[in-house]
Chain A
């Protein structure tokens, strides 16, 4: 049946399939380069610029010490690396916990009245003099080689910021395992955006910038609680190049309950929607390259398409549940239903089903590639099963909520 709902679904399916094909072409164009990057570390960086890592913390008593220790064990010359801990008016024992670091010559410790993460970052930026500056959230840990991988991207003079690969710290349980696949997928897409010069997020954990960026463009902004999207968009708008060092691994502690996950994701999605709105003049402009003509519009369309396709799917599911209920209510539980007779006649070969299948296969291919990129090999585990079965049901929740908040002006909060 070809009706209006199907037509909408076809348009969105065409767009998402087109996007998948585009990403896969980009991957196959650059796969040699991706593989080579892993060997770069053996050569080592030509020189070591001075780096300051700001650790903004607000009530992070449980994780802050571990974060600092992971920074201290970075494989990087000590005289070139400075760590600046900025306590953003914590009300728990964070300030006490960080006192033990204050005599370390590599570490500076500050406290200031609470003002939000971006103020803590700007506070740190105002006090530094290094070539590069980065930030590490106090619930994240770095791999010891992460900084070296990032530094090597800066050997290209045009690169003004480098984003790392964010992975999860010891994921367990269905909720965290499905996020593991999602983060892996994020590594893949960000690397593809790197090749298209279209990275539009410099994630909070361990994105490194040339200090000049802040001198020229100004500090972080509140940016609807997603300063890491805003700064990247601002850089892109001003023609600053952002790279992605996919071998630079940063680990972050994932939300362990659905409630916390939703809260976090509503903030991210809401932040993206609002920042996209603030930077809407970049859309469809040739001068912003692939980001302007393709990536940003696609990201915005994906918000609409996820909401509408999910709504259609949910209506479909509700309809079939009602029918099944009606059937059971009318003739009782059918004991024959388990005996499944295979008959090709009843295989759904509607266009929407075939395209849906192809799109799913495309997604699966990209997930497997991303697994190879982030884990070094393709491991098929429970995480993939949780992702393929559950993600499509919970992701629309936060995207829908974020869109609702953005339309009706409900502000997102941090925690």
Chain B
């Protein structure tokens, strides 16, 4: 029998085309990944400026009235940044060096924001509404994922509540100091609310009980919504 023809040239073409498609896809994927990192950096810079500006404003107005420096001066971008950062973490992996650096920077910004908020609250005799949350990415914290859902939901419900989340095992002296001054044990998830530390999973109800001010926020918010709706109806 005569030997069959083999379309060698076509195999070569199809291989080259496929390789081109693959390389383009790799390029695009890296490009967009880098774009994301850039965007996160931009947000971080913005927050950094926000904090610096608030601190400066605070120093300038040291002697003036509190109405000029309400909590509204704090940066509003933290939640946005956190969401993007955790998405990037899920895409690139916890151990990605880029992700690690971004997380460190983010943690520092959180601590600065926390300190500033405390100073403002102290001066203006307000109760600071904040939760400090320690979690772990080492698979040794079963409830961290669930706690994360609770805190995300809480943040959605109470935009005025400031939630600061920290990776307990992050190798950074500022976080280690934060852990030691608050005497947080390695029993995660751990939450610090009004100087009290709670260990283990806390549901939305638990937290609402721990911070009764939240309910107040809710009722104010609901009242506004109702008025808005009734106005609309008219």
Contact = CB atoms under 8 A, between A and B. Distances in A.
Contacts of B4: 197, 239, 287-292
A358 B156 contact: no
Contacts of A1: 91-93
A293 B10 contact: no
Given A1-B92, A331-B150, A331-B152, 6 more contacts: A21-B14, A25-B10, A29-B10, A287-B3, A287-B4, A346-B87
Listed residue (B10, B87, B145) with the most chain A CB atoms within 10 angstroms of its CB: B10
Interface stretch (A103-111, A225-233, A348-356): A348-356
A276 B25 CA distance: 34
B150 A239 contact: no
A330 B146 contact: yes
A22 interface: yes
Nearest to B1: A239
Given A289-B6, A290-B4, A349 B11 contact: no
Given A21-B17, A22-B11, A25-B14, A350 B150 contact: no
Given A345-B84, A355-B22, A326 B1 contact: no
A327 interface: yes
Interface in B110-154: 145-146, 149-150, 152-153
B67 interface: no
Contact of A349 (B5, B17, B29, B203): B29
B59 interface: no
B176 interface: no
Interface string A302-343: 000000000000000000000100110011001010000000
Given A17-B18, A18-B14, A354 B84 contact: no
Contacts of B15: 18
Contact of A354 (B1, B25, B156): B25
Interface in B1-37: 1-7, 10-11, 13-15, 17-18, 21-22, 25-26, 28-29, 32-33, 36
Given A22-B14, A239-B1, A289-B4, A350 B29 contact: yes
Interface in B40-70: none
A18 B13 CA distance: 10
Q: Which residue, of A25, A239, A286, A326, has the highest number of chain B Cβ atoms within 10 A?
A: A25
A262 interface: no
Q: Is the interface of A mostly helix, strand, loop or mixed?
A: helix
Contacts of A345: 36, 39, 84, 87
A25 B150 CA distance: 53
Nearest to A198: B4
Given A326-B149, A355-B22, A286 B6 contact: yes
A22 B25 CA distance: 19
Contacts of A358: 21, 25
Nearest to A195: B7
Interface of B: 1-7, 10-11, 13-15, 17-18, 21-22, 25-26, 28-29, 32-33, 36, 39, 84, 87, 91-93, 145-146, 149-150, 152-153, 156, 203-204
A126 to B, nearest CB: 26
B21 A17 contact: yes
Contacts of A197: 4-5
A354 B27 CA distance: 11
B71 to A, nearest CB: 24
A18 B18 contact: yes
Contacts of A18: 14-15, 18
A393 interface: no
Contacts of B2: 239
A287 B2 CA distance: 8
Contact of B33 (A290, A323, A326, A349): A349
Contacts of B203: 330
B6 A14 contact: no
A196 interface: yes
A288 B28 CA distance: 40
Interface in A252-299: 286-294
15 contacts: A1-B91, A14-B22, A25-B13, A238-B1, A286-B3, A286-B6, A290-B4, A326-B145, A327-B146, A330-B150, A348-B91, A351-B26, A354-B28, A355-B21, A358-B21
A196 B14 CA distance: 14
A294 B7 CA distance: 10
Interface centre among B17, B25, B29 (most CB of A within 10 A): B25
Top 3 A-B pairs, shortest CB-CB distance: A289-B4, A239-B1, A349-B32
A336 B155 CA distance: 13
A33 to B, nearest CB: 15
A26 interface: yes
B196 to A, nearest CB: 22
Report which residue of A286, A334, A336, A351 has the largest number of chain B beta carbons within 10 angstroms of its beta carbon. A351
